[in-house]
Amino acid sequence: MVVIITETRLGSAEAHQLANRLRYRQVISQEPTGYCGGIWVFSDLRNLSMQHIFHGDNEIEINLLRV
């Protein structure tokens, strides 16, 4: 399962903390700009893995790979 959270306004350290609590093993995140934006993408690696392709100011591009 993949979970996507947008407009987090928090950094990658918080993303990893939440992923650990939810038992998701893979995290890709985009840092917010000031107090705007922020994207977190979590995968539990049961059926899908993520390959990070690109990230811009407010976007993340990933490939979803079947495990």
Residue 56 has pLDDT above 90, yes or no: no
Residue 58 confidence (pLDDT):
82
Give pLDDT tens digits for 11-35: 999 999 999 999 999 999 999 998 8
Residue 40 φ/ψ, nearest 5 degrees? -125, 135
Residue 67 confidence (pLDDT):
87
24-53 as b/e: b if 16+ CB within 10 A: beebbbbebeeeebbbbbbbbeeeebbeee
Residue 34 confidence (pLDDT):
87
Domain regions of the chain by residue span: 2-66
What is the mean pLDDT of the segment spanning 31-49?
93
All residues at 6 or more sequence positions from 56 whose CB lies less than 8 Å from its CB, including other chains: none
